[in-house]
Amino acid sequence: MATDKKRITIVGAGLTGSLLGVLLGQRGYQVDLYERRPPETGNDADSGRSINLALSQRGIVALESAGLMDQVQNLLIPMKGRMLHLEDGRSQFSAYGQRPNEVIYSVSRRDLNSLLVQEAIKAKEVNVHFQRKCETIDFKKKTLTLINEAEGSGDRAEEAISFETLIGCDGAGSQVRRSLIEHVGGQTESVFLDHDYKELEIPAAATGGYRFDKNALHIWPRGQFMLIALPNLDGSFTVTLFLPKRGEPSFESLSDAAALEEFFEDVFPTAKAAMPDLGEDFFDHPTGRLGTVRCQPWHVEDYGLIMGDAAHAIVPFHGQGMNCAFEDCSELLRLLDQYDDDWTQVCAEFTASRKSNADAIAEMALENYTTMRSTVTDPKYALKKEIGFELELRFPQHYIPRYSMVMFHTMPYAEALAAGARQRDILDRLTQSVDQCADVDWDLAEKLVKQS
Ligand SMILES: Cc1cc2nc3c(=O)[nH]c(=O)nc-3n(C[C@H](O)[C@H](O)[C@H](O)COP(=O)(O)OP(=O)(O)OC[C@H]3O[C@@H](n4cnc5c(N)ncnc54)[C@H](O)[C@@H]3O)c2cc1C
């Protein structure tokens, strides 16, 4: 390991920046972490950001590498599968995996972010500067300007600082990305969905317990749109409505309390019965946009890099944005090991290896929207899932369902995407004239799986 380490400047102490700061501090780097928000709120969900998130294996591996999983564990609620709330009023549970550890975890964004920021503050190698909004970056001169928003009401003092190595972890609307891409003459593409989202709440029951099974991710799939709910530690669920922007029904059409009441009564009656503050929540809470950001390159020589949502924001339907961002951190640390802290090689290799994987999870996340809001109710989907699990049991060396590859394993996302395409062909063949798992031609299955 090289001893003469560069100083690292990180913009953004969200999930990515704070974990990265901790990891680089542990590696002996002097880190300055600049965050535009004040310390009290950290990365609070005050701007329509999701209140809770699903944490899975890739994120866990990164948190473990920072020695933080023991603390994070206290914030987690295991979700073993999807609880589908069907239109006819029935609920149907569908497990995510088939081994005891194959679960995902609901975690509060605020609690997790706050834990990571506190760890960064505790680390003697890391200086966290709150209320510093990065305004401009000059990659030629290696300087950036910060607006000091802590300077009394209305006073916005500007500070200019120089940096040795700058890492932008400033989220989907990244200022660092804009400057980096401009400096190197790269490209950015932001594609927004025609659907938005809004967060609502199912409060704890009067007795303090949960109103629905707390160990599931609840989905009310309704074809073109859906409602989901993830459990919180206090007995409540954070509910997210995903709906088209315009048309019928849409955020535009739910313009008054009567329309909202009627829509929920008609389409989500079981959820509505558990949402006493629906009207207030709906009209008070912001509506969020959903988009994918793809850009390249992600680095400037050996001294500029973007990571997390700043490099690759994705839609939330695979629950992987944060997990992928945490995996970015693991991968950067792995490359620092591999290249003995030679940032020229690390930056180039990081961009090369992560870009294709980020593109792959972006694609799978988009696909998963259709799966969650619609395909999950198709009996053929359930049959294919059951057969997929059976193939995994019978041929564990050759078959892991794609969902499990993404959520419970750490193989590159691009490999999971490619394997998923082969799996789709196999499952299509095996279910051509079969309505139940017991009738599958297992000799054919073995042949197909082993040659895929
Ligand atoms: C509705 C929804 C649900 C989601 N669910 C999941 C899920 O279940 N699982 C999952 O893995 N992911 C999920 N995600 C994705 C996840 O939220 C993001 O991938 C994750 O927050 C990325 O972290 P980040 O630190 O890169 O960016 P951010 O969380 O956006 O953090 C960026 C930080 O930079 C700061 N900042 C921004 N600009 C500046 C500036 N100019 N100067 C200084 N500071 C700045 C911000 O204040 C913020 O603290 C979801 C996203 C949404 C929208």
- Each residue's pLDDT tens digit, 76-117: 999 999 999 999 999 999 999 999 999 999 999 999 999 999
CA of 14 from ligand 1 middle (Å) equals: 6
pLDDT of residue 173: 97
Q: Is the pLDDT of residue 46 over 60?
A: no
Which ligand 1 atom is nearest residue 12's CA?
34
pLDDT of residue 452: 86
Q: Is the pLDDT of residue 44 over 80?
A: no
User: Residue 156's pLDDT band (boundaries 50, 70, 90)?
Assistant: low
CA of 15 from ligand 1 middle (Å) equals: 6
Which ligand 1 atom is nearest residue 176's CA?
41
pLDDT digits (tens, 9 = 90+) for 369-395: 999 999 999 999 999 999 999 999 999
Q: What residue has token string 């006073």?
A: 155
Report CA torsion sign: 70, 71, 73, 74.
Answer: positive
Q: Is the pLDDT of residue 41 over 90?
A: no
Which ligand 1 atom is nearest residue 313's CA?
19
DSSP string, 391-448: HHHH-TTT---HHHHHHH--S-HHHHHHHHHHHHHHHHHHTTT-SSGGGS-HHHHHHH
**Ligand 1 shell residues, CB under 6 Å:** 11-17, 34-37, 43, 50, 53-54, 133-134, 169-171, 175, 197, 240, 288, 308-310, 316, 319-323, 325
As a whole number of Å, the CA-based R_g of the chain is 23
Name the residue among 297, 295, 299 with its Cα closest to residue 309.
295
CA of 24 from ligand 1 middle (Å) equals: 20
**Which residues is 160 bridged to in the sheet?**
145
Q: Is the pLDDT of residue 154 over 60?
A: no
Contact 204, 234 (CB under 8 A): yes
Q: How far apart are CA 430 and CA 434, in angstroms?
A: 7
DSSP string, 207-268: TSS-SS-TTEEEEEE-SS-EEEEEE-TTS-EEEEEEEESSSSSSTTT--SHHHHHHHHHHH-
The model carries a pTM of 0.96
pLDDT digits (tens, 9 = 90+) for 403-431: 999 999 999 999 999 999 999 999 999 99
CA of 336 from ligand 1 middle (Å) equals: 24
Q: Is the pLDDT of residue 252 over 90?
A: yes
User: Residue 337's pLDDT band (boundaries 50, 70, 90)?
Assistant: very high
3-class DSSP state of 94? strand
pLDDT of residue 150: 80
Contacts of 175 (CB under 8 A, 6+ apart): 11, 134, 135, 136, 137, 168
Contact 230, 79 (CB under 8 A): yes
User: Residue 40's pLDDT band (boundaries 50, 70, 90)?
Assistant: low
CA of 385 from ligand 1 middle (Å) equals: 31
3-class DSSP state of 128? strand
In angstroms, how far is CA 308 from the centroid of its own chain?
9
Tokens of 58: 């890739």
Which ligand 1 atom is nearest residue 49's CA?
53
User: Residue 174's pLDDT band (boundaries 50, 70, 90)?
Assistant: very high
Least confident of 34-48, 211-225, 325-339: 34-48
Judging by beta carbons within 10 Å of its beta carbon (0-12, 13-18, 19+), is residue 183 exposed, middle or buried? Answer: middle
User: Residue 155's pLDDT band (boundaries 50, 70, 90)?
Assistant: low
pLDDT of residue 141: 98
Average pLDDT over residues 138-167: 88
Which ligand 1 atom is nearest residue 309's CA?
26
Q: How far apart are CA 208 and CA 439, in angstroms?
A: 46
pLDDT of residue 416: 98
Contact 399, 405 (CB under 8 A): no
CA of 96 from ligand 1 middle (Å) equals: 25
Q: How far apart are CA 163 and CA 408, in angstroms?
A: 38
Tokens of 448: 């197909």
Out of 10, 33, 36, mutate this one to test ligand 1's pocket (max ligand atoms within 8 Å of CB): namely 36
Out of 242, 318, 322, 329, mutate this one to test ligand 1's pocket (max ligand atoms within 8 Å of CB): namely 322
Q: What residue has token string 């901790």?
A: 22
Q: Is the pLDDT of residue 4 over 90?
A: no
Q: Calculate what percentage of the chain has a pLDDT beyond 90.
A: 93
Name the residue among 295, 227, 240 with its Cα closest to residue 266.
227
Contact 440, 388 (CB under 8 A): no
**HSE on the CB side for 74, CA within 13 Å?**
5
- The per-residue pLDDT of the chain, averaged, comes to 95
- Does a cis peptide bond (omega within 30 degrees of 0) precede residue 249? yes
In angstroms, how far is CA 299 from the centroid of its own chain?
22
Q: What residue has token string 């997990």?
A: 323
DSSP 3-state helix, strand, coil percentages of the chain (rounded to 5)? 40, 25, 35
Name the residue among 274, 326, 286, 412 with its Cα closest to residue 53.
326
pLDDT of residue 6: 83
Out of 134, 170, 230, 238, mutate this one to test ligand 1's pocket (max ligand atoms within 8 Å of CB): namely 170
Q: How far apart are CA 319 and CA 266, in angstroms?
A: 28
Q: What is the DSSP letter of 143?
A: E
pLDDT of residue 157: 87
Average pLDDT over residues 332-347: 98
Out of 53, 111, 148, mutate this one to test ligand 1's pocket (max ligand atoms within 8 Å of CB): namely 53
Q: How far apart are CA 317 and CA 367, in angstroms?
A: 8
CA of 43 from ligand 1 middle (Å) equals: 8
Q: Is the pLDDT of residue 324 over 50?
A: yes
CA of 339 from ligand 1 middle (Å) equals: 29
Judging by beta carbons within 10 Å of its beta carbon (0-12, 13-18, 19+), is residue 323 exposed, middle or buried? Answer: buried
pLDDT digits (tens, 9 = 90+) for 107-144: 999 999 999 999 999 999 999 999 999 999 999 999 99
Which ligand 1 atom is nearest residue 169's CA?
26
